[in-house]
Amino acid sequence: MKQARGTGWQQVQDEVRRRIQTREWAPGDAIPNESDLAEELGCARATVNRALQALAEDGLLERRRRAGTRVAPLPVRHARFRIPILRQEIEATGACYGYRLLTREMKMPPVGLLRSEGISDALLHLCALHLSDGASFAHEDRWINLAAIPAAAEVDFAQISANEWLVQNAPISDGEISFFAKACTVEEAALFGCNRADALFRAERKTWHDGQLITFVRQSFRPGYRMTTRI
């Protein structure tokens, strides 16, 4: 039944959950795409995306790039990882947050990203520094695919970080993240006031929507940083 306009993502989530639990959509079934569900339920596509993402995090749906969304054959509770907004993380410690955009340019991304994503056009490349009480906290090296999210072209990333803007505005259907430690570069040693022999905690993250790359980012954190998240 078509819902009234203004349906929220929790209502969409409840309706999708109902269809799964009543076996209207059986385990392994492909569900309608986001556009069709948005039309049927009378809401924005971004609302459907948020609801489906929450159900995927709960283990009820499987979302794969270029393969759509299916009801999970064996629902399993998934560990959740929410993309942190660094401003909030810093302010939660009682420190004063600062931010500085270092560079902004359109350029071709690294060869590895070109090959893995089939990208043929230049991407928006941003380098920025997040500060805690005036000291360098994290360096961010980010690529944004304007073909996937054209509104980013008009954003003044000197005033708001891409980290925060994308979390608030970019729908995501899939993502991957890697954590590792690696010795700092000469530039990072100068930024963080550390030795070249020091290893920095790093996080690399890719996010997609409907099989299209949204962003690739590498965040490098000051020595001694520890990431904590709830699952």
Where exactly does CATH 3.40.1410.10 map onto the chain? 86-221
Please determine, for residue 5, whether its predicted confidence score (pLDDT) is greater than 50. no
What's 86-221's CATH class? alpha beta
**Average pLDDT in the 71-89 region?**
76
Assigned CATH for 9-71 = 1.10.10.10
For residue range 126-176, what is the model confidence (pLDDT) as tens digits? 999 999 999 999 999 999 999 999 999 999 999 999 999 999 899 887 889
Q: What is the pLDDT of residue 148?
A: 93
Where exactly does CATH 1.10.10.10 map onto the chain? 9-71
3-class state of residue 175 by DSSP: strand
The pTM for the full model equals: 0.68
Which contacts qualify for 25-32: CB closer than 8 Å, 24 or more apart?
A: 25/71, 26/71, 27/71, 27/72, 27/73, 27/74, 27/75, 28/70, 28/71, 28/73, 29/70, 29/71, 30/68, 30/69, 30/70, 31/61, 31/68, 31/69, 31/70, 31/71
